[in-house]
Amino acid sequence: MHEARNELDGSRSTRKQAEKVKTQAREIVELLEEARKLMAEDNVVQPAMKHLHTALYEAKSRATVLEDWYQRTYSPVLEGVHVAR
């Protein structure tokens, strides 16, 4: 019984960490979007914008992958359906 509780606590901890990473990934995208807007207002030279656009594209891609993974991993649990792994 004690082992089951430890496993449940570990599962919750992993889920919390996953949710935090997912949220942080989306926050990074938002910060990069804001930086892009500010740089555009200041008419920054093209090379800097190119690097920012690349970073933004990569951050969006990673955030989308994390959100998709989180949804597939934890949505069934949130809906009360246990998925066997």
User: 75 vs 3, 18, 71, 83, CA distance in Å?
Assistant: 25, 13, 5, 10
Residue 84 φ/ψ region, left for φ over 0, alpha for ψ in the -120 to 50 degree band, beta for the rest: beta
Radius of gyration of the chain (CA): 19
**pLDDT tens-digit readout, 39-63:** 887 775 667 788 888 999 999 999 9
Q: What residue ranges in the chain does DSSP mark as E strands?
A: none
**Rounded percentage of the chain residues whose pLDDT exceeds 90:** 42
For residue 18, pLDDT beyond 80: yes
pLDDT of residue 33: 92
Quote the tokens at residue 2: 């004690």
Token output for 18: 């996953």
